[in-house]
Copies of this chain bind each other. A is one copy, B any other.
Amino acid sequence: MPSYKAPVDDVMFLLSDVFHIDRHNNLPGFAEATPDLIEAVFGEAAKFAEQVLTPLNRVGDKEGCRRHDDGAVTTPTGFKDAYQKLTAGGWLGIAAPAEFGGQGLPMVLAQAVNEFLCSANMAFAMYPGLTEGAIAALQAHASPEQKALYLPKLIAGQWSGTMNLTEPQCGTDLGLVRTRATPQPDGSYKISGTKIFISAGEHDLVENIVHLVLARIDGAPVGTRGISLFIVPKFLPDAGGGIGARNAVSCGSIEEKMGIHGNATCVMNYDGATGWLMGEANRGLQAMFTMMNEARLGVGVQGLALSEVAYQNAAAYAKERLAGRALTGAKFPQQPADPIIVHPDVRRMLMSMRAFNEAARALVLWVALQSDVAHRSEDAKERQAAEDRLGLMTPVIKGVLTDQGFANTVSAQQIFGGHGYIAEHGMEQFVRDARIAMLYEGANGIQALDLVGRKLPKDGGRALQAFFAEVTAYIKQHGADAGMAPFVTPLNQGLGELQQATMWFLQNALGNPDNAGAGATDYMHLFGLVVLGYMWCLIAEAAKTKASGGDGAAGRMAERLTTARFFMERMLPAAATHLARIKAGAASTMELPAEAF
C-alpha cells in the first residue's frame, strides 16, 4: 500500500526563505501566522493526512460510493469518521473570515494544507474542497442574510457545498444551460432541470448540502447573458436556520468513472426545487468567473499533489527493488542485484518528477499569496497587480500542473514495471485519479485558450508585461552573479522564446485567430516552463543564502541546486519545441475538411 509524508519542510522553506511571508504582515491574518503557528498548523495537517486519510485512499477506490433506491448515497468506509475529524479540527475554516467562525489565516496556508489532503486522498479532499468553493462564492456574491444563514454552517463543516454547472448538452459552453428558474411570489424560485458531473452532489458526510446552481430565469436572454446563480439547499433552512423540509432536489444516479471513486459524482435532478437567487439576475456566469481563479488553482494543486505522492512511492520502490547492475559497476556486489535507483533512466524519471514538484509547489504558493494580497490589501495598486498575476497564472497552473502532474503519475507507475499495473500497489490509482484534473474545471485546452485569448490581451496586456518586466529585472539583477548563471542563463533563453511566441501571436493571430488557437496549448506549456524556471531561480537563490547560514541545512540546499540544474538542463529545453510548433501556425492543423476525420 502506498505511503505518504507531507512535505512540511519544503513548504516552510518556500514560505519563509523564498517568499518571505513575514513581509506581508501588514495584511489581515498574516501577523497572527507566526512561523511557530504555521509550523503547528502544518504539523497537524500532515498528521491528519498521513495517518487518517492515506489509509482510506485505497478503501475509497475499491468501495466507491453507493446510491440506494431512495436516492441516498453512502461514502466508503471510514470517510464519515474522517470527515468528522476534519471538521472538528477546524480545517474547513483556516482562511475563512472570523466573523463567520473561520480562523482568518492566510489563504496560502489553506492551499498548502490542501496539497497534503489531496496527496493523501484526493477523492476525500474534494468534499471539503467543494465546500470551500461554495464558501468563497457566498462570500463574494451572497446577500448579508444569505451569508449569515449559510456561511457559519459551511465553515463549521456542518453543511457542505457543491457547484452545479454542467448539463448533458453543455459543459464548456455554459451558454447552452437549460435548467429553468421560475420566480415565485415570495421571492424564491422553482428550479427544474438536470445537472451532471456534480462532485459530492449527494453523500452521508453532513446533515445538509448547499447546491449552487446555474439556471435560466424564465424569459431571460438566450446564451451566456441569461444565466443566474441560485442557492438550492437539500433541506430548506427552518426559521431558526436549522434543518427544515426536504427540497425537491435528488441524486438520480452516480457515474461509473475512471477514478476518484471515493467521491460521489452525481446526476442531480431538480424537480421544481426551491432556490434563492444569489447576486444579480442574469449575471450568474460572471459570478462563477470571479471564483474560478481559486477553484482552478485548487485543481492545479491536485495535479501537484498526485505527482508528489506518486513520486514518493516511486522513489521508495526504486531504492528497494533489485534488478540489474549499475552501468558503472555493481554498487552492492554482496546483493544479487543493485536497487534500480542506480539506473540513469530511473533517475531521469525521479529527477523529472522532483524538479517539477518543488517548482510547482513554489508556483502554487507564490500565486496563492497573490490571492491573499488581492483579497486583503488596502492598497488598490497592490491589489490590482496581485489580481493581474493571479489571473495570468491561473490557466497556467491549472493546465500545466494537471497535464504534467498526470504525466508524472504515469512515470512513477513506470518505475514499478509490471507491478505498477497491479491495483494493490496503488500506483495505477494515482494515474486514474490524476486524470480527472485535466478534464474538469475547464478542460486544459480551455485553459490554454483562456490564457491566449483572454488573459494575454486583457487590459492591453498589462499582466503579461508586468510578468515579463519582473523576470527581466530578476535576470538583470542576477546576471553578473556567476553562481546563479547556471539558472539565470537558461531562464533568459526561455523567456526570450516566450517573448518570441507572444510576438508571433501579435503578428499572426489578429488576421487569423486560428493561429492563436492552434498554438495555445504549446504557449501554455512554454509559459509553464518559463515560470517554473523562474521559481527554480528563486529557490536556488534562497538555497544558496540558507546553505551559507551554517545551520546544518547545507545538504538539503545542495540537493535543491542540483535539482534546479536538472530542470534547466533537461526540462526547460522543451521550450524551443513549443516555440517551433507555435510558429508553424494553423495551416496544416486546419486544412482538412471535417469529413476527412
Residue positions of A touching B, CB distance < 8 A: 166, 169-173, 175-176, 197, 255-259, 315, 318-319, 322-324, 327-328, 336-337, 339, 341-351, 354, 406, 410, 413-414, 417-424, 428, 431-432, 435-436, 438-440, 443-445, 448-449, 512-514, 516-518, 520-521, 559, 562-563, 565-566, 569-570, 573-574, 576-577, 580-581, 584, 586-592, 594, 596-597
The residue of chain B having its C-beta at the shortest distance from the C-beta of A323 within the complex is: B173
Asked if residues B258 and A172 are in contact (CB atoms below 8 Å), the reply is no
Asked if residues A351 and B435 are in contact (CB atoms below 8 Å), the reply is no
Q: How far is the CA of A587 from the CA of B258 in the complex (A)?
A: 39
Contacts A/B (CB < 8 Å), 7 sampled: A256-B422, A258-B431, A345-B449, A346-B445, A565-B588, A573-B576, A577-B577
Our pick among B169, B423, B517, B570 for the contact of A257 (Cβ within 8 Å) is B423
Please give the count of copies of this chain that the complex contains.
Answer: 2
Least distance between A143 CB and chain B CB atoms (Å):
32
A514-B327, A573-B580 given; A315·B414 CB < 8 A: no
Asked if residues A323 and B171 are in contact (CB atoms below 8 Å), the reply is yes
Q: How far is the CA of A449 from the CA of B341 in the complex (A)?
A: 15
Asked if residues B566 and A589 are in contact (CB atoms below 8 Å), the reply is yes
A258-B431, A570-B588 given; A439·B418 CB < 8 A: yes
9 closest Cβ contacts across the A-B interface? A344-B517, A327-B513, A569-B584, A573-B580, A258-B428, A344-B518, A173-B323, A315-B597, A566-B588
Asked if residues B421 and A436 are in contact (CB atoms below 8 Å), the reply is yes
Our pick among B573, B584, B590 for the contact of A347 (Cβ within 8 Å) is B590
Asked if residues B322 and A444 are in contact (CB atoms below 8 Å), the reply is no
The residue of chain B having its C-beta at the shortest distance from the C-beta of A566 within the complex is: B588
Asked if residues A345 and B445 are in contact (CB atoms below 8 Å), the reply is yes
A347-B589, A566-B588, A586-B344 given; A421·B258 CB < 8 A: yes
Asked if residues B258 and A318 are in contact (CB atoms below 8 Å), the reply is no
Residues from chain B with a CB closer than 8 A to the CB of A420 are 439
Q: How far is the CA of A347 from the CA of B589 in the complex (A)?
A: 6
Residues from chain B with a CB closer than 8 A to the CB of A406 are 410
Residues from chain B with a CB closer than 8 A to the CB of A439 are 413-414, 417-418, 420-421
Q: How far is the CA of A570 from the CA of B590 in the complex (A)?
A: 13
Residues from chain B with a CB closer than 8 A to the CB of A170 are 323
Least distance between A2 CB and chain B CB atoms (Å):
14
Asked if residues A592 and B559 are in contact (CB atoms below 8 Å), the reply is yes
Asked if residues A422 and B345 are in contact (CB atoms below 8 Å), the reply is no
The residue of chain B having its C-beta at the shortest distance from the C-beta of A453 within the complex is: B327
Residues from chain B with a CB closer than 8 A to the CB of A576 are 573, 576-577, 580
The residue of chain B having its C-beta at the shortest distance from the C-beta of A420 within the complex is: B439
Residues from chain B with a CB closer than 8 A to the CB of A569 are 581, 584, 588
Least distance between A349 CB and chain B CB atoms (Å):
8
Asked if residues A418 and B584 are in contact (CB atoms below 8 Å), the reply is no
Residues from chain B with a CB closer than 8 A to the CB of A573 are 576-577, 580-581, 584
Residues from chain B with a CB closer than 8 A to the CB of A323 are 170-173, 176
A323-B171, A345-B521 given; A414·B444 CB < 8 A: yes
Q: How far is the CA of A440 from the CA of B563 in the complex (A)?
A: 30
Our pick among B436, B440, B443, B597 for the contact of A350 (Cβ within 8 Å) is B597
Least distance between A261 CB and chain B CB atoms (Å):
11
Least distance between A559 CB and chain B CB atoms (Å):
5
Q: How far is the CA of A169 from the CA of B569 in the complex (A)?
A: 35
Residues from chain B with a CB closer than 8 A to the CB of A319 are 594, 597
